[in-house]
Chains A and B, each alone.
Chain A
Amino acid sequence: MILRRLTLSNIRAYATTATLTFAPPGARNTTLIHGLNGAGKTTLFEALNWVLYGDIVKYPGHLLNESLLRSVGEGDTITGSVSLEFEDAGEKYFLSRGVVGALTGGEVSEKQSGVEMYTIDALGNSKLVKGGDQRILQMLPSAIRTFFFFDGDKIAEFTRPGKEQDRQITRAVNDVLHLELLNRASQHLGDIARQINKKIAERGTAEVKDLQARLERQLALRDQLAENRRLIVAELEDATVRKGQIDHRYRDIENVAKQAARRSQLETEVRVCASRVEAAKVGLMQANLAAFSLPMSGVLAEAEDLLEEKRKKGEIPSDYKDQFLLDLLEHHRCICDRDLRPGSDPYIRVEQLLQQVVPNGLQEKALLLHGEAKRLLKSHDACKAAMLRCMSDIDSAHKDLDALQHELDEVNAALGAESHTDVLELESQRLSLEAEIGKHRTSLGGLEVQIESARAAVERLEKEFHAESQRQQGLKTLTREAAIASRAGNEIAAIRERLIGELRTDLSSEATRIFKAFTWKTDFFERVEVGEDYLLQLFDVNGRDMRGVMSMGETQLLSLAFILAMTAISDHQAPLVIDTPLARLDRNVRLNLAAALPDLTSQLVLFVTDTEMTPEVRSSLADRVGAEYRLSFSDGISQIVDGGL
């Protein structure tokens, strides 16, 4: 199938007519549709699914534009439609579905019409195709569209299936690879053989009846054993995944132990570093105290010079002169016997002299301080160097301390986030799961033997039954019919088994190749394997099953690798249409994916958000884009704007 043109009219946010012409297969096979969230990408994706299959896959609700619906008068109707032009097996087709909205009794209702399908010949003449729905399902069965038209947000379901998704995926894979066809054929042939056997028994002898009854029992036993095997395989698969998760928890615990040891070491280092800071601070304080005296030394030197000058002028007596003057004033008589009565001129002069005297001991103190200041001046350079060294030590110790504290915080956070798992409990669970796995494997081995034995018994009984019924007149043709149906059924079942084996190997190999092309952890991941029932398994280089421990991006990538491997192996030719394919992927994977996707399909249609559409992604896709559209949204109306290509 090759998509040519999609046209919407009055559908959801597209209140008028909007047309999208897809890039054809070839070097520029990619159609890029981008816009903000809510601009109308998903409506286009929905419209494509609806016109082909008549169902809404993502957002149920009214198909018609809500504003138009609300404007409908009582008894009036409005219409909307989606049409698709496409090619399949060299034929051109036009497909259309309509919807009519009406307001009746205040209630809005919608009625969807069936599909109209036409072939278009080279001259442009159209011819109605009857049973359009069936024709589309023959071209691309609905179950298969999971692999061609998919929502990027939901593809992780391929890797983390629940029971229902599990069945859906199995069904879809069976359809894509024609396994369902073979399955139905062998089942139908088996049913036909049984029905004929019953007819034979009804008309046959007692011995024939007995053989048919035994054969029927043996067939029932064989089918029951096959069903048991399927259930045990599912349980084995489940137990293996759970054991893998426990092993992962063990690795977490191992990591916790390492983190705890590192925390202890970091705490010691933080203490040592904090001591370094304290020691440096003490050193700085001492250097500061020493340095504090430095500015004082200049003042003291100036004071000494002043004293010296005054001494020379005889203005400042020594301490002895000071005492001498006091004695003179006390005795009111000079040593030359001159009278020094208070109020006399000599008395006043002596008093003035005494007032100019520096207080007791100050002179010595000033001298002492000056001496000390001189000593400090000599150690000025050493003091400055010490201060700088201390400051540098403090700075360095602070940096180390910050780094250690940061690491310690991270370790604490990591340890805090870890739930305190009881290792013994885990060990107990693991042992129990190992026992369960062992038991399932033993059961499977035993079942395989029983199934083989039941098959042989069915074959033997069938031969006996047919040989016996062949002898009876009137049953020969019926017996031949039963034998042909049974043998044809068995042979188709055998082909199916062989094909499943081959396809699983091919799928695993292709999915591994694609996954490794996308991931940046190429040295870490070893291979993808498609297990029984097509459950995906991803193994690391040590052979460990990584399911359940992958990131969301890796899960999405694994699913995408599986889908692309399926489309590569499938006989169905269909475009790959992906809504928001890159949302959960990191930068490297986005770029790998953008570069690789166009080569993995004949026609690629990408609905991407503006956030996904980084300049790097655009650059990766640039040479492959054949059509580009930007979706604009204003006043509640979406429009498709030509992107310029």
Chain B
Amino acid sequence: MAKTVMQRVMQMIEEQCEVEPPLLRRILQIEQAYMSNDASGAKEEIASLIGKSAKSTTNI
């Protein structure tokens, strides 16, 4: 069965991204949840996620 567009995106994230895939997947989930809402809410939530990720990461 052909891959869905999101499955393709997830595969690309796994294959070619240096940033941790779970973080990118979470970012996209947040965006998806806000697609029909106020986009600024997504930005705040992602900024918070990045902040948490930076605190728990030693390497960049």
Contacts and interface: CB of A to CB of B under 8 A. Distances in A.
Interface of A: 134, 137-138, 141, 175, 177-178, 180-182, 184-185, 188-189, 191-192, 195, 466, 477-481, 483-485, 487-488, 491-492, 494-495, 498-499, 502-503, 569-571
Contacts of A494: 16
B5 to A, nearest CB: 5
Contacts of B55: 477
B54 A481 contact: yes
Contacts of B1: none
A485 B54 CA distance: 9
Contacts of B60: 466, 479-480, 483-484, 487
Given A495-B16, A499-B8, 15 more contacts: A141-B36, A180-B35, A181-B28, A181-B35, A185-B27, A192-B50, A195-B47, A477-B54, A483-B60, A484-B19, A484-B23, A488-B24, A491-B16, A494-B16, A570-B5
A195 B50 CA distance: 13
B36 A499 contact: no
B21 to A, nearest CB: 10
A478 B60 CA distance: 11
A495 B12 contact: yes
Nearest to B24: A488
Contact of A184 (B39, B47, B51, B54): B39
Interface in B3-60: 4-6, 8-9, 12-13, 16-19, 23-24, 27-28, 31-32, 35-37, 39, 42-43, 46-47, 50-51, 53-55, 57, 60
Identify the 10 closest CB pairs spanning chains A and B, nearest first.
Answer: A137-B36, A480-B54, A481-B54, A571-B4, A483-B60, A188-B43, A491-B17, A185-B31, A488-B19, A495-B12
Given A181-B28, A184-B39, A192-B46, A487 B18 contact: yes
Given A480-B54, A484-B53, A492-B27, A178 B12 contact: no
Nearest to B30: A185
A600 to B, nearest CB: 15
B36 A491 contact: no
Contact of A484 (B5, B8, B54): B54
Among A134, A181, A477, A483, find the residue whose CB has the most chain B CB atoms closer than 10 A: A181
B56 to A, nearest CB: 10
A268 to B, nearest CB: 63
B31 A569 contact: no
A492 B24 contact: yes
A182 B51 contact: no
B54 A495 contact: no
Contacts of A189: 27, 46, 50
A188 B18 contact: no
8 contacts: A137-B35, A181-B31, A181-B35, A184-B35, A188-B31, A192-B47, A499-B8, A503-B5
Contacts of B9: 178, 182, 495, 499
Given A141-B36, A483-B60, A502 B8 contact: yes
Contacts of B16: 491, 494-495
A134 B36 contact: yes
B14 to A, nearest CB: 11
Contacts of B36: 134, 137-138, 141
A504 to B, nearest CB: 13
B19 A487 contact: yes
Nearest to B59: A480
Contacts of B39: 184, 188
A488 B21 CA distance: 10
B50 A485 contact: yes
Contacts of A134: 36-37
A50 B16 CA distance: 43
B18 A491 contact: yes
B35 A141 contact: yes
Given A178-B5, A480-B60, A498 B12 contact: yes
A502 B12 CA distance: 12
B47 to A, nearest CB: 5
Nearest to A136: B36
A180 B60 CA distance: 27
Contacts of A502: 8
A178 B13 CA distance: 14
A503 B42 CA distance: 26
Contacts of A495: 9, 12-13, 16-17
Contacts of A178: 5-6, 9
B54 to A, nearest CB: 4
B31 A481 contact: no
Given A141-B35, A185-B28, A488-B19, A191 B43 contact: yes
A208 to B, nearest CB: 16
Contacts of B50: 189, 192, 481, 484-485, 488
B5 A569 contact: yes
